[in-house]
Amino acid sequence: MINTKIKRIVCIVCALSAMTALSACKKEAEVTETTFAEITPTPIPVETTTTPTTTLAVYSGPLPSSDIAVTWQETTLDTPVIMYAAVSEGEFLRVRKGPSTEYDIVGTLTRNQQVQISAVTDSEWYKTVDGFYISSTYLAQNPAV
């Protein structure tokens, strides 16, 4: 009979232990669910930058004839001379309607691109065989290495 009572006590203790353990698990699950439910996702700021791209037309002549009235002095060369665009890699040399930066751009030259020069102005701009102008500052007699 003592054996039976001990067995019952052991069974009751085991049952209570199991119920306590289950209760603790249930409370932990409730706490976890509540905790996750209360968390609001925080957006991570992402900076995106866009670089504007510029596409320039490359001068490949012949260009349309100039509509600018000549108001400067120029000396015509006996024979056209080949010159080379002396600009940095990736840069463009502007070809203009007249011998000044005040005139419209009609095209561009890339580094070492050849151009035929037919005249020189009094303001040290070169006239191309197509009738347009390039600053003498950016032309060289030999291509850059």
Instruction: Tell me, yes or no, whether 87 lies in a domain.
Output: yes
Model confidence at 88, in pLDDT bands (50, 70, 90)? confident
Angstrom distances, CA of residue 115 to CA of 73, 92, 97, 104: 21, 14, 15, 19
Residue 69 within any structural domain of the chain: no
According to DSSP, the β-strands at 92-96 and 74-85 are: unpaired
How much is the pLDDT for 72? Answer: 80
Kindly report whether the global pTM for this prediction surpasses the value 0.75.
no
Domain assignment present for 48: no
Q: Is residue 46 part of a domain?
A: no
CATH of the domain at 96: 2.30.30.40
Phi/psi for 2 (5° steps) reads: -65, -40
Q: Residue 85 is part of which domain span?
A: 74-140
pLDDT value for 144: 84
14-60: pLDDT as tens digits? 666 766 666 655 555 555 555 555 656 666 676 666 555 545 455 55
User: What number is the average pLDDT over the span 95-116?
Assistant: 92
Residues 87 and 135 in one domain: yes
